[in-house]
C-alpha cells in the first residue's frame, strides 16, 4: 500500500508542478537531430540565460563535443562564466544576491525541460507581457507574477496581453498585441525560441542522442544473431529427423 501511495505521488508531481494555469501550450517542435538549431540554441542560452541561471550538471566540453563545435570556438565565443573547457556551467551570481534582486533565486536550468516539459518552456519564453503593477514591468501568461524580467525584449519587443471573460466569469487569456517591435519579426523570434528550447531539451538529457543510436545498433546486432542462430539450429538438427 505504501509503495502504491508513493507511486501515485510520483506520478502526480509533474501535474501539480505544471502550475495552476490552464493556458494552451504551443509545440516547441523539438528536433535533437538538427545540430545547427542546437548550436544556435546554445549561443542564445549562454548569452541570455547563464547570467542568472546555472546549468551546473553540464560541462562546456561535453556540449562542444555533442553539438559538433570545436573546443576553440566554444572557448573564444561562448565561455563568459568559466575559463576551463572542463568547467560546469555555473554562474557568478550568488543565490543570496539573486534573491535580493528578484525576490527568488533563479533555478538551475539543467533539467527544466524535463520538469516542466519543452512545450511549457517554449510557451513561457514567448508569453511575457507588459504589466505596470509588477516591479519588473512584466508578467507572464503561463507563470503569473513571475520574478523573471523579460530578458529577450530586445529580440521580441514588448507585447500587451488581452484577456476576456469566459462563461464562468473568469478572466481568460485571449491574445497578444505587439506594441513595440524588437529586432526580430514574430516568426524569427519563434524560431530563435525553438532553437533555445531545442538546446535546453538536449541539456535535460544529453546522452539521449547516443542512447538512441546505440539502441538501433543493438537491435541490428540481435537481428543478425537471430539469423545466425537459426541457421545453426537447422544445421544441428538436420540429421535427427
Residues of this chain that bind ligand HEC (CB under 6 A): 48-49, 51-53, 102, 104, 106-107, 109, 112, 116, 121, 124-125, 146-149, 151-152
| Nearest by Cα to 156 from 109, 188, 117, 130 | 188
Contact 110, 205 (CB under 8 A): no
Of 59 and 201, the one with the shorter C-beta distance to ligand HEC is 201
CA–CA separation, 185 and 197 (whole Å):
18
Residue 190: partners with Cβ closer than 8 Å, 6 or more residues away: 126
CA separation for the pair 83, 16 (Å, rounded): 39
Q: What is the Rg, in whole angstroms, of the alpha carbon atoms belonging to the chain?
A: 24
Q: How far is the CB of 183 from ligand HEC (least distance, A)?
A: 15
Distances (CA, A) of 212 to 29, 32, 37: 18, 11, 19
Give whichever of 24 and 211 is closer to ligand HEC, judged by the CB atom: 24
Would you say 125 or 138 has its CB closer to ligand HEC?
Answer: 125
Q: Which is nearer to ligand HEC, 16 or 222 (CB)?
A: 16
CA distance 74 to 56: 17
Which residue lies nearer to ligand HEC by CB, 74 or 200? 200
Q: What is the smallest separation between the CB atom of 51 and ligand HEC, expressed in angstroms? A: 5
Residue 124 Cβ vs ligand HEC, minimum distance, rounded to whole Å: 6
Smallest distance, Å, CB 58 to ligand HEC? 14
Distance CA 14, CA 10 (A): 8
Least Å distance between CB 200 and ligand HEC? Answer: 6
CB of 2 to ligand HEC, least distance (A): 29
CB neighbour list of residue 37: distance below 8 Å, 6 or more residues apart: 31, 194, 195, 198, 199
Nearer to ligand HEC, 74 or 204 (CB): 204
Give the position of cell 462563461: 167
Q: Per the structure block, which three cell numbers stand in for 33?
A: 537531430
Do 175 and 162 meet the contact criterion of CB atoms below 8 Å apart? yes
Pick between residue 74 and residue 125 the one whose CB is nearest to ligand HEC: 125
Tell the smallest beta-carbon distance from residue 93 to ligand HEC (Å). Answer: 8
Amino acid at each position: 500500500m505504501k509503495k502504491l501511495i508513493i507511486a501515485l505521488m510520483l506520478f502526480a508531481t509533474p501535474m501539480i508542478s505544471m502550475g495552476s494555469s490552464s493556458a494552451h501550450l504551443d509545440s516547441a517542435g523539438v528536433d535533437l537531430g538538427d545540430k545547427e538549431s542546437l548550436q544556435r540554441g546554445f549561443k542564445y542560452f549562454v548569452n541570455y540565460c547563464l547570467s542568472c541561471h546555472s546549468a551546473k550538471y553540464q560541462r562546456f566540453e561535453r556540449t562542444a563535443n555533442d553539438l559538433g563545435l570545436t573546443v576553440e570556438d566554444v572557448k573564444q565565443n561562448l565561455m563568459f562564466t568559466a575559463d576551463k573547457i572542463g568547467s560546469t556551467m555555473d554562474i557568478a551570481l550568488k543565490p543570496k544576491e539573486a534573491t535580493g534582486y528578484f525576490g527568488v533565486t533563479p533555478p538551475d536550468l539543467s533539467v527544466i525541460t524535463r520538469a516542466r516539459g519543452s512545450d511549457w518552456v517554449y510557451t513561457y519564453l514567448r508569453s511575457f507581457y507588459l504589466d505596470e503593477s509588477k516591479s519588473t514591468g512584466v508578467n507572464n501568461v503561463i507563470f503569473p507574477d513571475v520574478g523573471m524580467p523579460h530578458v529577450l525584449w530586445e529580440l521580441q519587443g514588448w507585447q500587451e496581453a488581452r484577456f476576456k471573460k469566459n462563461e464562468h466569469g473568469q478572466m481568460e487569456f485571449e491574445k497578444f498585441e505587439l506594441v513595440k517591435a524588437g529586432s526580430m519579426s514574430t516568426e524569427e523570434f519563434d524560431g530563435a525560441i525553438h532553437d533555445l528550447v531545442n538546446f535546453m531539451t538536449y541539456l535535460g538529457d544529453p546522452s539521449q542522442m547516443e542512447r538512441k543510436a546505440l539502441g538501433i545498433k543493438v537491435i541490428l546486432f540481435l537481428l543478425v544473431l537471430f539469423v545466425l542462430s537459426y541457421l545453426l539450429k537447422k544445421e544441428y538438427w538436420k540429421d535427427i529427423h
